[in-house]
Amino acid sequence: MPGCLYDAEWIKTVTGQLADAALAEPVEPGDIVLAGVRTRGADLAERLAAELASRGHEIPVALLDVTPYRDDLAQGGVKALKGGTQMTMSIDGKLVIIVDDVLSSGRTARAAMDLLMDFGRPRIVRLYALVERTDRELPIRADAVGAQAETGPGDSVRVHLSETDGVDEVVIEKKEGN
């Protein structure tokens, strides 16, 4: 049964708040790299970069394909890749902001961090998301987030973005009995 719904306006507002957070980080904007987790995290990272550009800051965006770093490759059949990782800049010494749509178990963020370490040595890594679920499985939390969702196993939080899904919205579906 679909529950709480956030709309396009909310996503726009949160994008602005994440831009505020990025500019409040303890580094010069020139030392920031946005690392969007494909697919929707990458779309969000591009939107965040556009918002920052409109405020006069050109921040480079890397696109991360974390599929080969997942910890569940041995289960459930072969996983499709998402276009590979595009990282044309150095991340050594930078403040890298991993951007994703939903922070759920924390495993995707863990995979993203391992991926970043293969590319260089960031000075600081942050994690920004639109929604953070409360049922985390790894000790990882977002540094900046739009909203928290009280969720348990079987609940789903889905972000739809116009780039991929044709519409901007956040849909939360709680399992019967949760």
Partner 1 sequence: MEWKRKHLLGLEELSAEEITTILDTAASFQEVSTRSIKKVPALQGRVVVNLFFEASTRTSNSFALAAKRLSADTMSFSQSGSSVSKGETLIDTALNIEAMGVDCFVIRHSAPGAALLLANSVNSSVVNAGDGPHEHPTQGLLDIYTIREAKGRIDGLKVAIVGDIAHSRVARSNIWGLQKLGAKVTVAGPSTLIPRGIEAFGVEVSHDIDEVLATSDVINILRIQLERQERRNFPSIREYAQIFGVTQERLSRAKKDILVMHPGPMNRGVEITPEVADGDQSVILRQVTNGLAVRMAVLYLCMGGGGGGKPVDN
Residues of the shown chain interacting with partner 1 in the complex, contacts defined by CB under 8 A: 65, 67-70, 73-75, 77-86, 114, 118-119
Tell me the torsion sign for CA atoms 62, 120, 102, 158: positive
CB of 81 closer than 8 Å to CB of 127: no
- Report the residue number, 56 or 76, with the smaller CB distance to partner 1: 76
Measured from the CB of residue 71, what is the shortest distance to partner 1 in angstroms?
9
The distance of closest approach from Cβ of residue 54 to partner 1 in the complex, given in angstroms and rounded to an integer, is 30
Q: Of the two residues 1 and 80, which places its CB atom closer to partner 1 in the complex?
A: 80
| Angle at the Cα of 137 from the Cα atoms of 66 and 11, rounded to 5 degrees | 65
Q: Least distance in Å: CB of 100 to partner 1?
A: 19
Q: Which amino acid is at 20?
A: D
In terms of CB distance, is 92 or 137 closer to partner 1?
92
Residue 69 or 128 having the CB closest to partner 1: 69
Q: Closer CB to partner 1, residue 125 or residue 130?
A: 125
CB of 72 to partner 1, least distance (A): 8
